[in-house]
Every structure is written in structure tokens, then in C-alpha cells.
Amino acid sequence: MINQPEATVEERQSMGVVLSDVGLGDQSFSDAAMRGMGQLRETGEWFVDYRELDETETYKVGFEQLVADGHDVIIGLGFACQADLETVATANPDQQFALIDAVSTLPNVISVTFEEVEGSALAGAVAGLETDTDKIGFIGGVDNELIQKFSTGFLLGAKAVNEDVELIVDYANDFASPDIGRKLAEKQIQAGVDVLYAAAGLTGVGVLETAEKNGVKAIGVDSDQSMIAPDAVITSMLKQVDLAIVEIANNVKADVFSEHYVLGLDQGGVGLSALRRIQWTEDERERFESFEKRLMEGAQ
């Protein structure tokens, strides 16, 4: 009898992800994370599972379920989950966690944040060149330090190429209400805004749709959102959450337990999607490219 060699099966590592409050279908943050999870699955080296709030009702329950499942790393997506992640991480000191979009000092949590100011500054430069009224608008999901980075960068970039520009800012206090986004967008358009930028999750979808309905321009966020309002969206500020997911996986393989990684222009963590329906003069293009170069040099 001939002995057959035993088949070798490479053991996959395992990742669990608790998605942001809106969950899949937000056409923004969670969907970008899912792309990163898909990339890991395609390598054949990772098994990936996830939880959504509409299933677990609280972030804490989602984290506890994933701990019980025995994943190599458990990721919390978005600043809103930080308190619950840290509660569960403290109770499970031997479990590796990671937090995207906020910073934890716990010894078993990897933190990944983005340079939202840099990416939004590029978006602002586009808006500053595209506005005809010299009024541009920003609509944030909540008024906190993170979302303020988007508006700060947006104004910085716009002013760099158009010193006459004025920024109107509103906060929805809700990441999951397209209706609120529509109302705030209508208000800003009536005030003369002709380029809208929202960092507001599903609420921002209402902003983009309203821009298209009213024939004004819009800038998407996190993912390329041109499909939502193709006649309005001229570009999107990309926040590469998929890159963060892969970065975390690489660090878990390297046995990194507690580090803070910042992903900016240099690392490809933020940037712009393709510019659409833009016809700049040579002077305008030079102003944009000059600002982009200065921004890149400042990021190094």
C-alpha cells in the first residue's frame, strides 16, 4: 500500500469588524471598509466577519460576539464605537483590537486615523475654482473635532486658489438622515452656495441628490460617490478605509499590538477621485497644481 502524503491546509487568520452606525449601504465609510475586507478575503489568507448595529443594537454586543468567535483581531469602525471598544478591550487584555478614525491608548489596540485636512484641502481647491458665486457649503454629520477637520481643510484649499470664497457650514447631528441632508442643502443653495461638500454618511447622500436636483455642483466623501448624483458630483474626497483595513491586517501579522498610524497624502490614505466635467483655464489648472504641490511638500 502506497502511503499518500497528507494534504496541507494553510491556516487562515481571522478578522472581525464592527461597522459604523449606518452600516452597509451607506455608500461611504462602511462600504469602503467592506472593500478592504474583500481584498483580504481574496488573498486566501484571511477569514473576515462583521457585525452591524441593526443586528446587535449596541457596539458593545457586537464586540463581545466577535471576541467569543475567537478572531485574531477585532476592528471598530468610526469614532462613535470607541467607548464600547475600549470597555471590551479592557475586559479582554489578551485580545487584539484595532480602532479606525480615533486614537486609543490601550496596550492591545492599534489606532488608524487619516489626514482629513489634507484630503479636504484638495477638495476645497476644486470648489474654489468651480464656484461662480464665491459661496461654497459644508454639511457635517456632527459638530466635533474630527468632522471639523473636513471643513477646516475645505476652506483652506478654497482660499488658497480663490481668496474671495465664503464658506457656509451646517451640522446635521445625524449621519443617517438623507432628509436632513436635503433640507440643509436646500437652505445653503438658497443662500447662494453653488458647490456643496458633505461629511455626513448617509445624510450626505441627501446633500448630493439635492445638489443634482438644483443644478449645482457637489463633492463626495470617503468613496467615489459620483454614482449617487452623476450630474452634480465633480469629484470625491477619498478616505481610504480599505487601506486602513489592510494596514491593520499587515500589522497583526507583524505582531504589532499598540501603535497609531496616520494615513495622509504621502501614504495614499486620502486624495481625490477623478475630476469630472471640469474645464479649467491654463491659469486655473496651474493654481490647482501649485497648491497640490505645496500641500504634498507640506505633508512630507
pLDDT in tens, the chain (300 residues): 444 444 434 578 999 999 987 667 666 678 888 899 999 999 999 999 999 988 999 999 999 999 999 999 999 999 999 999 999 999 999 999 999 999 999 999 999 999 999 999 999 999 999 999 999 999 999 999 999 999 999 999 999 999 999 999 999 999 989 999 999 999 999 999 999 999 998 999 999 999 999 999 999 998 899 999 999 999 999 999 999 999 999 988 888 788 999 999 998 999 999 999 999 999 999 999 999 999 988 854
Contact 202, 54 (CB under 8 A): no
Cell numbers given for 153: 481643510
Cell numbers given for 58: 449596541
- Closest C-alpha among 139, 102, 134 to residue 120: 139
Question: Which residues is 73 bridged to in the sheet?
Answer: 15, 96
Count helices and strands in the chain by DSSP H and E runs: 10, 12
d(CA 257, CA 94): 10
d(CA 219, CA 236): 5
**Paired sense of beta strands 270-272 and 233-239, if any:** antiparallel
Say how many C-beta atoms besides its own lie within 10 A of residue 10's C-beta. Answer: 6
d(CA 101, CA 201): 14
Q: What residues contact residue 161 under an 8 Å CB cut-off, 6+ apart?
A: 125, 128, 129, 284, 287, 288, 291
Cell numbers given for 249: 491586517
- Closest C-alpha among 290, 282, 285, 276 to residue 160: 290
Segment holding 50, helix H or strand E: strand 46-51
Phi then psi dihedrals of residue 105, to 5 deg: -100, 5
